[in-house]
Amino acid sequence: MRQLSIGGAWVHEPKVFPDSRGSFHEWFRSPDLAEAAGHRLRLEQANCSVSARGTLRGVHFADVPPSQAKYVKCVRGAVLDVIVDIRVGSPTYRRWEAVRLDDSDHHAVYLAEGLGHAFMALTDDATVIYLCSEGYAPEREHGIHPLDPDLGIEWPEGVTPLLSEKDAAAPTLAEAERQGLLPSYEECEAYYRKLRAADAPVG
């Protein structure tokens, strides 16, 4: 697990073992994630999305607590996965970081509760699977427009973004902050401490 520049975000870079039959790798190891994040990932839901080239999903996030931590991997094709720090008061507030996920290197990313998440499909039939710490709850889910110029995410050139109606109508980061939709860094840190305490050994 390699720490990214945004606190609460890591990339898993597994060793891939190829042979004449194909390849093998471990795409998720609970002890490795627990060592990095300080607590285990509580699995409540697993999702799979298949996207045409140019499909842009996000930026999505959920209310804290409990929000929704995600462990994301692309099992077919390739995507540009983007994590955005939307925690008001964070030292890296407004920062974003992109990681290419594909079916060659087999990298995966983990983002903690309170962070924003988006990805763009770089190939047709790009298939993304992700493990979630909480189930989908529409009343707690929010979005930020992924093409917000003030956020300035550098999506690949020459690819026309395909957005859902919901994502296309999402507010900018500044609008979401004014509307009080964004989580605070303080409440996120408090929730992380609660998760770590719940996983701490007894005695």
| Residue 189 included in any domain | yes
How many structural domains compose the chain?
A: 1
Judge whether residue 203 has pLDDT over 60.
no
Q: 89-96 long-range CB contacts below 8 Å, 24 or more apart?
A: 89/184, 89/185, 89/186, 90/7, 90/185, 90/188, 91/7, 91/185, 92/5, 92/6, 92/7, 93/185, 94/151, 94/173, 95/5, 95/6, 96/6, 96/151, 96/152, 96/153
Express each pLDDT in 84-95 by its tens digit.
999 999 999 999
| Residue 180 included in any domain | yes
Beta strands 116-121 and 56-62: pairing type? Answer: antiparallel
Residue 5 per-residue DSSP state: S
Express each pLDDT in 44-56 by its tens digit.
999 999 999 999 9
| Residue 199 included in any domain | no
How far is the C-alpha of 12 from the C-alpha of 144, rounded, in Å? Answer: 26
| Residue 198 included in any domain | no
How does residue 103 score in pLDDT terms, banded at 50, 70 and 90? very high
* Active site residue ranges: 60, 130
Report field, pTM of the whole predicted structure over 0.75: yes
Judge whether residue 77 has pLDDT over 80.
yes
| Residue 139 included in any domain | yes
For residue 171, how many other CB atoms are within 10 A of its CB? 16
What's the pLDDT score for residue 201? 72
Average pLDDT over every residue of 181-187: 98
Judge whether residue 73 has pLDDT over 80.
yes
Judge whether residue 67 has pLDDT over 60.
yes
What's the pLDDT score for residue 79? 98
Q: What are φ and ψ of residue 30, in 5° steps?
A: -55, -45
Q: Give the bridge partners for 128, in sequence order.
A: 49, 74
Q: What range does the domain containing 153 cover?
A: 2-18+26-193
How far is the C-alpha of 23 from the C-alpha of 14, rounded, in Å? Answer: 12
**Mean pLDDT of all residues in the chain?**
96
CATH of the domain at 174: 2.60.120.10
Q: 11-19 long-range CB contacts below 8 Å, 24 or more apart?
A: 11/99, 11/107, 11/108, 11/109, 11/110, 12/71, 12/107, 12/108, 12/109, 12/110, 13/105, 13/107, 14/106, 14/107, 14/108, 16/105, 16/106
| Residue 200 included in any domain | no
Express each pLDDT in 4-47 by its tens digit.
999 999 999 999 999 999 999 999 999 999 999 999 999 999 99
| Residue 203 included in any domain | no
Judge whether residue 199 has pLDDT over 90.
no
| Residue 49 included in any domain | yes
What share of the chain in percent tops pLDDT 90? 98
